[in-house]
Amino acid sequence: MPRKLPSRQELRKQAEAAEAAGIDEESPKKKVKKKKKAAKKRATRKVKDAVPERKRLIWVIYTATLREEARFPYDQRKEAEEKLAQLLAKGKRTYFMQPVKELISGEAVPVAVEELEESEPAKVSSEDQDSLEETEEEDEEE
């Protein structure tokens, strides 16, 4: 069975009786809750904004297969158009000019596909070579 809680009126009467008797103590059932101190907040640090990468605009002449033929600084557009006219007059290929943004930092320019094809083939270690030969032999047996 649930316990019966004293009503507020009864508690008030008890408190007034205690005051009249000269007792200032609070009833043992009532406990004053102490306020917890709020946790100190850390000072927020300002995060520096990342410096945007500096870029420059250049004119690039491409073939129809997107192979780069020539590059010109942005202020040399006339020279780029002259070069484009020369290439178009020269032959059968299709060329076009397009502005491109590139990073100003000293990063290397992307390597053209033809340069990759002309470079030496990747060297294969002796262990890899042996495993390749074994797999070829197994394929021939099957």
pTM: 0.41
Q: What is the pLDDT along the chain (142 residues), one digit of tens a residue?
A: 677 777 888 888 888 888 888 765 555 555 566 677 777 777 788 888 888 889 999 999 999 999 999 999 999 999 999 999 999 998 888 999 999 999 987 554 554 444 434 444 444 455 555 555 555 555 555 4
How many degrees, rounded to 5, is the angle at CA 35 between CA 33 and CA 41?
155
The pair of structure tokens assigned to 70 is: 């020539």
- Report the SS3 class of residue 119: coil
